[in-house]
């Protein structure tokens, strides 16, 4: 960063879905914004790659939907599962009140590259790759900028507002003295890829439940993105059993993966997602706001973390673009963002906790299949209308946002 880049109206730490979306919307509304992304690119495996119907509606709000859907992707109208050998439909998105009533599966780096490319069309948008916000700058108890570390050294960046969108392991949040409350989670998730036989493998995206096992397979056309749920802290025991035993467990759970799982040669190809559910009691300080996982780390249950992060970004842009543009931003504007978004985040987390405690943990503890199909599964199959409820929670969420800022 050179001297000309050292002041901005809004500095966003973190180039994930929340940060890039907020940067796009603020720049579109005429705000000078600088997004700092500590990596040199967005190419990192095992980031969430689900774009929800609510996000597709947001893209339609800003005229980007058709261009986005022109990118290579998969569309999911229903989510299904194999529950103890019975194929079931768990969620039906086709009736959602959205611009496009389906989930889109697309590598997250493609989504971020797309948004960043569109954001660069606005003169007020700056994206600094390989630049990390390492600490906040304070004056008289107010946050007035950040210290930026990059390959060329360290430099201050002053801003009317700093937004921490740098995830659950935020460096900005603790430096600013904002403490996170950990709710706890009984599970972890192992992420890995397996090649997919387009001719012979099933096309469905969904979960497979067996006694003591839950495996989620996302159809990415040429490969399966797999999520294997394990009890919290049990990875070391699995590793001691060896990668061959893990491959056998995968093949026994999903027979269609029996051949492709042989390509999983070492534990280096398996990434641990340590599941965390946490929240800030206060998302802001004068001059600073936290959004997305920096404010409320979500479980991967339902894949809704990206949805919540993007909804936070839209709400923040709606409430803050005007004051930022006019130079009248005050603490009460930041407090309004928390009031708007805290309730949807906490409700969603409570649902995730209930699913983890009442569904996932009992499944992982089982040594044999139940004598009868679980009642919720029965009801979803007997009453198709009920499938719209989980679809609504996953696809739209609680208190969805619409873009109210203009160019």
Which of 110-119, 245-254, 367-376 has the least mean pLDDT?
367-376
Which pLDDT score, from 0 to 100, does residue 314 have?
A: 98
Asked whether residue 154 falls in the same domain as residue 265, the answer is no
How is residue 151 annotated by DSSP? T
Concatenating the DSSP letter of every residue in 356-375 gives: IIIIIHHHHH-SS--SS--H
Please state the rounded mean pLDDT for residues 80-86.
89
Whether 47 shows a pLDDT value over 90: the answer reads no
pLDDT digits (tens, 9 = 90+) for 11-21: 999 999 999 99
Answer whether residue 75 is part of any domain. Answer: yes
Q: At what angle do helices 305-326 and 17-28 cross, to 10 degrees?
A: 30
Answer whether residue 406 is part of any domain. Answer: no
Asked whether residue 11 falls in the same domain as residue 60, the answer is no
Dist. CA 254–CA 3, nearest whole Å? 57
Asked whether residue 244 falls in the same domain as residue 329, the answer is no
Please state the rounded mean pLDDT for residues 312-316.
98
Asked whether residue 124 falls in the same domain as residue 252, the answer is no
Asked whether residue 155 falls in the same domain as residue 173, the answer is yes
Asked whether residue 151 falls in the same domain as residue 111, the answer is yes
Asked whether residue 223 falls in the same domain as residue 246, the answer is yes
Answer whether residue 404 is part of any domain. Answer: no
CA dihedral 255, 260, 262, 268 (to 10 degrees): -110
pTM: 0.93
Supply the CATH number for residue 311's domain.
3.50.50.60
Which of 57-71, 76-90, 229-243 has the least mean pLDDT?
76-90
Residue 379's H or E segment, with its range, is: helix 375-382
Structural domains of the chain, count: 3
Answer whether residue 56 is part of any domain. Answer: yes
Whether 46 shows a pLDDT value over 70: the answer reads no
Please state the rounded mean pLDDT for residues 64-70.
98
Which pLDDT score, from 0 to 100, does residue 4 have?
A: 45
Dist. CA 220–CA 223, nearest whole Å? 5
Concatenating the DSSP letter of every residue in 31-81 gives: --EEEEESSSSS--TTS--EE-HHHHHHHHHTT-HHHHHTSS-EEESEEEE
pLDDT digits (tens, 9 = 90+) for 356-376: 988 889 999 988 888 787 888
Asked whether residue 194 falls in the same domain as residue 209, the answer is yes
Which pLDDT score, from 0 to 100, does residue 295 have?
A: 97
Concatenating the DSSP letter of every residue in 289-330 gives: EE-GGGT-PPPSGGG-HHHHHHHHHHHHHHHHHHHHHHT---
Asked whether residue 151 falls in the same domain as residue 97, the answer is no
pLDDT digits (tens, 9 = 90+) for 278-301: 999 999 999 999 999 999 999 988
Asked whether residue 31 falls in the same domain as residue 128, the answer is yes
Please state the rounded mean pLDDT for residues 192-217.
89
Which pLDDT score, from 0 to 100, does residue 3 have?
A: 46
Using the structure block, give the residue that is written with the tokens 């389906």. 102
Using the structure block, give the residue that is written with the tokens 């294997």. 228
The domain in which residue 25 lies consists of 3-46+107-183+278-359
Comparing 155 with 41, the larger pLDDT belongs to: 155
Asked whether residue 218 falls in the same domain as residue 350, the answer is no
Please state the rounded mean pLDDT for residues 214-243.
92
Do residues 320 and 329 make contact, with C-beta atoms less than 8 angstroms apart? yes
Whether 218 shows a pLDDT value over 50: the answer reads yes
Q: What is the SS3 assignment for 172-228?
A: HHHHCCCCEEECCCCEEEEEEEEECCCCCCCCCCEEEEECCEEEEEEECCCEEEEEE
């Amino acid at each position: 960063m050179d001297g000309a880049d050292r002041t901005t109206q809004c500095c966003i730490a973190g180039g994930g879905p929340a940060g890039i979306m907020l940067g796009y919307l603020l720049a579109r509304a005429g705000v000078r914004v600088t997004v700092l992304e500590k990596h040199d690119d967005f190419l990192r495996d095992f980031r969430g790659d689900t774009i929800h119907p609510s996000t597709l509606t947001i893209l339609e709000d800003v005229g980007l939907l058709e261009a986005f859907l022109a990118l290579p992707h998969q569309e999911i109208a229903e989510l299904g599962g194999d529950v103890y050998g019975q194929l079931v439909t768990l969620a039906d998105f086709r009736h959602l009140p959205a611009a496009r009533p389906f989930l889109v599966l697309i590598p997250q780096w493609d989504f971020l590259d797309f948004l960043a490319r569109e954001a660069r069309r606005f003169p007020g948008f700056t994206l600094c790759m390989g630049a990390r916000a390492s600490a906040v700058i304070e004056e008289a108890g107010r946050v007035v900028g950040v210290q930026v570390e990059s390959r060329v050294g360290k430099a201050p960046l002053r801003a009317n507002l700093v937004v921490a969108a740098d995830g659950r392991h935020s460096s900005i949040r603790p430096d600013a003295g904002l403490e996170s409350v950990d709710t706890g989670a009984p599970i972890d998730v192992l992420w890995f890829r397996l090649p997919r036989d387009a001719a012979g493998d099933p096309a469905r995206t969904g979960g497979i439940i067996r006694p003591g096992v839950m495996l989620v397979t996302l159809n990415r056309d040429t490969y399966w993105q797999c999520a294997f749920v394990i009890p919290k802290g049990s990875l070391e025991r699995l590793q001691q059993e060896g990668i061959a035993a893990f491959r056998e467990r995968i093949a026994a759970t999903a027979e269609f993966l029996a051949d492709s799982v042989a390509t999983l040669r070492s534990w280096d190809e398996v990434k641990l997602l340590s599941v965390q559910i946490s929240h800030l009691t206060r998302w802001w300080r004068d001059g600073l706001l936290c959004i997305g996982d920096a404010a409320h780390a979500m479980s991967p249950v339902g894949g809704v973390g990206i949805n919540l992060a993007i909804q936070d970004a839209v709400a923040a842009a709606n409430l803050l673009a005007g004051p930022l543009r006019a130079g009248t931003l005050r603490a009460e504007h930041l407090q309004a963002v928390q009031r708007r978004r805290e309730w949807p985040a906490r409700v969603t987390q409570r649902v995730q906790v209930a699913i983890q405690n009442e569904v996932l943990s009992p499944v992982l503890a089982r040594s044999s299949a139940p004598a009868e199909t679980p009642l919720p599964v029965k009801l979803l199959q007997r009453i198709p209308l009920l499938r719209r409820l989980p679809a609504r929670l996953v696809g739209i969420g609680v208190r969805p946002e619409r873009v109210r800022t203009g160019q």
